[in-house]
Amino acid sequence: MRARDSLQISQFHVHIASYNNFPTAAGLASSASGFAALVASLAALYKLPANASELSVIARQGSGSACRSLFGGFVAWEMGSNPDGSDSFAVQIAPKGHWPEMHALICVVSDSKKGTSSTAGMQRTVETSPLLEYRTKEVVPARQKRIIEAIKAKDFNTFANITMQDSNQFHAVALDTDPPIFYMNDTSRAIIAVIVEYNRASLASGHGIKAAYTFDAGPNAVIYALDGNMRQIVNLIQYYFPQSVPFNDPFQLFSEAPGTLVLPDGFNLAVAKRAEVGAVSRLIHTRVGGGPRVLDDSEALLDTSGLPSELPSK
């Protein structure tokens, strides 16, 4: 009877209402989250027996990185080898609760330049970058293997080094595209300079690497750090990139408003100039989350007649 049920359900016509609370077209994976939600919702509605990796093959067609967003926790995107991409899917490396100390600080960077969409950009890179194939075949597989091991072993040093090196190499092949693609801007560069100096000072005083930056297809930085170092990092970023909006402090790093800058030992303040207010427009402090969830009817975006209810205001 299940097969019969599925068949009937699959003939449903559907109304789809979609709402995304993340900045769109900012290189912050908003299309990944949207396509993952769409595929997960339809799979739930149609009661598809597929597992998340199978669904990820479908989600990938909307936006490459959507395949990862079908899972919570730490997720790897397996490149696959079939030319049609049918074996390119995502797998969960570790669940959401595996490494609870791992936090992320998203620095939303203002950019006057109209960006290149990540999907269109990657297509042009594939067509024109002489370095891309070497990166894909010779560099990425070994790095992916090593970072998966580092995540499983909760080895922050290795995780951070590979994260930064691979972010840089992704942007290197973007720049090797014809015409070249620049996702990062001077503010992004300055964030890198601050994190590089923060790690240098930490290593020089006998500690390990404390932070890792990564940039997706846009100027915004994501800084990974263990929770114990996040207060110092927020402090540093706010010193160099003052914002007009107060820091929304979801993990209560600061009992009061972030005040005096307490410098890490040996940190060289001259490594970057203080930016004008708003170069980083806001900070989002978050950590590893769960995957798509089916919400209950009280949170539906469609009303009982099947039409969109009022959208939440931004």
104 CA to centre of own chain: 9
Is residue 134 involved in binding a copy of itself (CB under 8 A)? yes
Q: Which long-range contacts (CB under 8 A, 24 or more apart) does 116-121 make?
A: 116/181, 116/183, 116/217, 117/25, 117/217, 118/27, 118/31, 118/63, 118/64, 118/65, 118/216, 118/217, 118/218, 119/31, 119/63, 119/64, 121/174, 121/177, 121/181, 121/183, 121/217
Judged by CB under 8 A, the stretch of 144-152, 164-172, 232-240, 277-285 that binds a copy of itself is 164-172
Contact 222, 211 (CB under 8 A): no
- Amino acid found at 273: K
Contact 186, 74 (CB under 8 A): no
Dihedral angle sign, alpha carbons of residues 271, 276, 279, 280: positive
Cis peptide before 179 (omega within 30 of 0): yes
Which residue in 13, 21, 179, 245 binds a copy of itself (CB under 8 A)?
179
CB of 126 to a copy of itself, least distance (A): 15
Q: Which is nearer to a copy of itself, 32 or 194 (CB)?
A: 194
Is residue 185 involved in binding a copy of itself (CB under 8 A)? yes
Is residue 275 involved in binding a copy of itself (CB under 8 A)? no
Judged by CB under 8 A, the stretch of 37-45, 73-81, 167-175, 204-212 that binds a copy of itself is 167-175
Judged by CB under 8 A, the stretch of 1-9, 24-32, 168-176, 203-211 that binds a copy of itself is 168-176
Which residue in 97, 130, 246, 250 binds a copy of itself (CB under 8 A)?
130
Burial string for 197-224 (b: 16+ CB within 10 Å, else e) reads bbbbbbeeeeeebbbbbbbbbbbbbbbb
Which residue in 47, 152, 154, 189 binds a copy of itself (CB under 8 A)?
189
Q: What is d(CA 218, CA 282) in angstroms, rounded to the nearest whole number?
A: 15
Q: Which three-class secondary structure string do you get for 128-141?
A: HCCCHHHHHHHHHH
Q: Which is nearer to a copy of itself, 19 or 134 (CB)?
A: 134
Q: Which is nearer to a copy of itself, 68 or 135 (CB)?
A: 135
Q: Which is nearer to a copy of itself, 118 or 188 (CB)?
A: 188
Is residue 112 involved in binding a copy of itself (CB under 8 A)? yes
Q: Is 303 exposed, middle or buried (0-12, 13-18, 19+ CB in 10 A)?
A: exposed
CB of 143 to a copy of itself, least distance (A): 9
- Amino acid found at 127: E
CB of 281 to a copy of itself, least distance (A): 17
Strands (E), 112-251: 212-215, 221-226
Binding track over 75-94 against a copy of itself, x by CB under 8 A? --------------------
Judged by CB under 8 A, the stretch of 158-166, 221-229, 238-246, 248-256 that binds a copy of itself is 158-166
Which residue in 2, 4, 13, 113 binds a copy of itself (CB under 8 A)?
113
Which residue in 32, 106, 164, 211 binds a copy of itself (CB under 8 A)?
164
Residue tagged 């240098």 (tokens): 200
Contacts of 299 (CB under 8 A, 6+ apart): none
How many residues interact with a copy of itself (rule CB under 8 A)?
31
CB of 273 to a copy of itself, least distance (A): 5
The residues that touch a copy of itself, with contacts defined as CB under 8 A, are 112-113, 130-131, 134-135, 138-139, 161, 164-165, 168-169, 171-173, 175-180, 182, 185-186, 189, 192-193, 196, 272-273
